[in-house]
Structure 1
Amino acid sequence: MDNIKKKIGIYSPYLNIFGGGERYILSIAELLAKDNYVYLFEEYKLKQKVRDYFDISLDKVNFVSNGLFLTKNIINKYISLKKMDYFFYMTDGSLFFSPAKKNYLIIQSPSHIPPLTKLNRIKLVNWDCICYSQFMKDIILKKLKKKAIILPPPVATNKFISKLSKKKNIILTVGRFFRHLHDKKQQFLLDVFIDNHKTLFKNWKLVIAGGLTENKESSYVEDLKIKSKGCPVSILVNPKFEDLVSIYSESKIYWHATGYGEDIDRYPERAEHFGITTLEAMSGECVPVVISMGGQKELVTEGINGYLWSTKNDLVSKTSLLINNPELLKDLSPLARKRALDFSYDVFYGKLKKIIEN
């Protein structure tokens, strides 16, 4: 970008959820606000919560009421967006005409891809699509007949400083608690651990951490707590970012199972479309043992910086391999972090600026 500050608008209808997508678009806001005028269409009260939960600073971001997008006042929306040099929109599957000079449509997952109607074909002409992974790029091309730009989410690698000497016998999994659409399969992972904690995983602990953003899923968390009673299992609900950093740095092995038991060819939205928590774990030198589906396959190289699995037996055997070979675990830990550095904020910002400049 030239030295002239640009006006950049950003909007997501999901900023009350606080998941990976929200971290992504708020990171874009934080970084672009360094050298530009960034306008986030959201209530100001969100600012402190974002700092507490994501450790993202929005001090240089201008907050504008999101009412423009919650009403059908098309004229006011048009006037506001026409002032923007760039506009980033994280779609919920909807699409609209934007008069900004340049428009970027962020598509998180297959379930967020707008239907290819005749009207949407016309609307899409004015949008460049952005996605997290090759997994998503292929699906977008198939469904929208449009090439997307891959911009993987960033990881605050500088905040995940780990010392192997302080590592504990902890298997960690992180993900939001909910059972529909994008189930993180905590129930499955808990069952695997309970079945093996007295034998193959003896003297190890399982930590399940994640956000609880929907009250209706409280019963799911309670079910997990009841089932884990009497076992070396901790369940952390809505941990602050600093607490997550601490548990990542203490853990030795990271589990991820999103998509397990699902027909991904038919329902690709049930796979992990990227895997930000896997990279966060790797940043903390936590060795990943993750399902070989979706975006996970793009992050982990088998036997080099972690392991991929397809079946329950595969998950158990590869976890046991690490548990029974401390030296192997020690060797893979720094290699896991090395891979995560490919997704640092500096790398992300460089790619983001290149997208805008082009």
Structure 2
Amino acid sequence: MLHSDQIILLNSNLGTKGGGENSTLQFAKYFSEKYPNKSVIILTSEIKPPTLDSLSVYFGLKMTENVSIETIRISEFKRNIPYLGKFLLYLKFLFRVRNVFLFLNHANISFLFPYAKKNIYLIMFPFTAYWGKIYVRLIKTRLMGFLLSRYDLVIANSEFTQLEIGKAWNGLFSKVVQPYFIPSKHLTRNKSFKQNQIGILTISRFTSEGHSKNQDLLLECFVKLRKILSPEIQLSYTLIGSLDENSDNDKKYYNSLIEKYGNDSNIRFHPNVSFKELEKAYSEHDIFWLGTGFDRDSLQISPAYYEHFGIVLLEAMSYGLVPFACDRGGPVEILSRFEKSFLVNDLNDLIEKTSLYINLSESEKVLMSKKASETVSYFNENQFIKKMDEIVSIYF
């Protein structure tokens, strides 16, 4: 097949199955249906990426036959040589996307030069905070600014991301395309509540690095919350998330949580669960906690450490779970359509507001649960398609 008949989307973190990977598949689905005669390829450098079928099932997205996953490979020996491995991968990526019909760069922090006929850079979060010392940040920011100016279009996944990348790159022009969420066919919207049995759920990657979800801080909150509630209330906390077995730091962080809280019968840890197990967890819990952003004091210093959108909130809300999240970053765009009172300023605020919710009557909880599930309908695929159709009509 001629390269001019191909659309390539770059994502080298498919195995994490996070919000970014969901977004990659959403764009792949859109372009495959918009251009059915072209081959849509999700390009990755992962040694053993997940299959397209497994990702489709996990995210509830039905993909067409013209979508596939392709791996750029170099030998393990070369991959492990500092700098050389990355340079070789860069060259292979560069030549692979050369002259294709469309290239969508969704590799988080990627300095890949736009080499296709049409080029889009999809930015999921304002990542300049990851660049260390001031002089390094300055050099990389200027280099990225030059690179982004060569792309036909920059897309931000939220108004928060758009605002912060505009600050980082002197008013960089971008379009906002928020991810959408497709509720599970198996979910039960009519939740019933037992006044004295409350389950809290957190679903996020187990890591203390970079975009941390702060499970350690949330566990401290749970212990404090339990102390101020009536002894009659049976409170439990379940933590689910992906755990990278190849990351020593992630495993160390996870093991530290197990060592400290593993003997508490009211706290449960479940890494790397199946989609079926995930659905079961949603259906059995009442409250959802998202911990991103609670460990950072200044949005101006490190905007990248806040939740950039928070599609996991939509997933939880679709099952009727009432969500609590930091009042900075992307969750504001979701929860402002639900109830702003569930946006929390700090960890003490999280404890206080969760306690207030738990002490509501059963009928009040049912109403809030119903409103949460109804809010999800705003972030639908039709909105996404409408926004993308407008973009395609202008830039293509």
1:164 aligns with 2:191: yes
Q: Which moved more, 1:231-240 or 1:105-114?
A: 105-114
Q: What code does the residue aligned with 2:151 have? A: N
Counterpart residue number, 1:218:
251
CA 1:266–1:280 in structure 2 vs 1: closer, same or farther (change >3 Å)?
A: same
Counterpart residue number, 2:213:
184
- Distance in 2 separating the partners of 1:290 and 1:75: 40
- Distance in 2 separating the partners of 1:33 and 1:44: 20
1:265 CA drift (Å): 1.8
Alignment of 1:259-270 (within 5 A): 259-263=293-297, 264-270=299-305
Q: Provide Cα deviations, 1:183-202, integer angstroms capped at 9, x if missing partner.
A: 10111111111223254173
- Residue 260 of structure 2 aligns to a residue whose secondary structure is helix
Q: Which moved more, 1:300-309 or 1:325-334?
A: 300-309
Q: What code does the residue aligned with 1:342 have? A: Y
Q: Provide Cα deviations, 1:92-112, integer angstroms capped at 9, x if missing partner.
A: 323333243321101121226
- Distance in 2 separating the partners of 1:72 and 1:247: 39
Counterpart residue number, 1:9:
8
- Distance in 1 separating the partners of 2:324 and 2:148: 41
CA 1:65–1:193 in structure 2 vs 1: closer, same or farther (change >3 Å)?
A: closer
Q: What code does the residue aligned with 1:164 have? A: K
Of residues 151, 159, 174, the one that matches 1:148 is 174
In 1, are the aligned partners of 2:326 and 2:344 still within 8 Å (CA)? yes
Q: Which moved more, 1:104-113 or 1:253-262?
A: 104-113
Of residues 139, 152, 162, the one that matches 2:164 is 139
- Residue 33 of structure 1 aligns to a residue whose secondary structure is helix
1:40 aligns with 2:62: no
Give the unaligned 5+ runs of structure 2: 75-85, 130-136
Counterpart residue number, 1:236:
270
Q: Which moved more, 1:13-22 or 1:41-50?
A: 41-50
1:66 aligns with 2:65: no
Alignment of 1:1-358 (within 5 A): 7-36=6-35, 37=38, 38-42=40-44, 46-51=51-56, 53-58=58-63, 60=65, 61-67=67-73, 71=88, 77-78=94-95, 80-84=97-101, 86-111=102-127, 115-117=140-142, 120-121=145-146, 124-145=149-170, 146-159=172-185, 160-165=187-192, 169-200=198-229, 202-213=233-244, 214-216=246-248, 217-228=250-261, 229-263=263-297, 264-301=299-336, 304=339, 307-325=342-360, 326-358=362-394
Q: What code does the residue aligned with 1:33 have? A: S
- Distance in 2 separating the partners of 1:198 and 1:119: 49
In 1, are the aligned partners of 2:60 and 2:182 still within 8 Å (CA)? no
1:126 CA drift (Å): 2.8
1:348 CA drift (Å): 2.2
What TM-score results when the alignment is normalised by the length of structure 2?
0.79
In 2, are the aligned partners of 1:162 and 1:250 still within 8 Å (CA)? no
1:288 CA drift (Å): 1.0
In 2, are the aligned partners of 1:200 and 1:320 still within 8 Å (CA)? yes
1:118 CA drift (Å): 5.9
Q: What code does the residue aligned with 1:209 have? A: I
Q: What code does the residue aligned with 2:221 have? A: V
Size of the aligned set, in residue pairs, is 353
Q: What code does the residue aligned with 2:259 have? A: I
CA 1:303–1:120 in structure 2 vs 1: closer, same or farther (change >3 Å)?
A: closer
1:58 CA drift (Å): 4.4
Q: Provide Cα deviations, 1:289-343, integer angstroms capped at 9, x if missing partner.
A: 2111211111113973761111222111211111111332211112112221111
- Distance in 1 separating the partners of 2:97 and 2:147: 21
1:206 CA drift (Å): 0.8
1:27 CA drift (Å): 2.2
CA 1:44–1:320 in structure 2 vs 1: closer, same or farther (change >3 Å)?
A: closer
CA 1:304–1:74 in structure 2 vs 1: closer, same or farther (change >3 Å)?
A: closer
Q: Provide Cα deviations, 1:66-103, integer angstroms capped at 9, x if missing partner.
A: 3599736859845743131x221113323333243321
Give the unaligned 5+ runs of structure 1: none
Identity in percent: 26
In 1, are the aligned partners of 2:177 and 2:384 still within 8 Å (CA)? yes
What TM-score results when the alignment is normalised by the length of structure 1?
0.87
In 2, are the aligned partners of 1:281 and 1:288 still within 8 Å (CA)? yes
Q: Provide Cα deviations, 1:158-213, integer angstroms capped at 9, x if missing partner.
A: 54442213786211111100001111011111111122325417312111111112
In 2, are the aligned partners of 1:175 and 1:184 still within 8 Å (CA)? yes
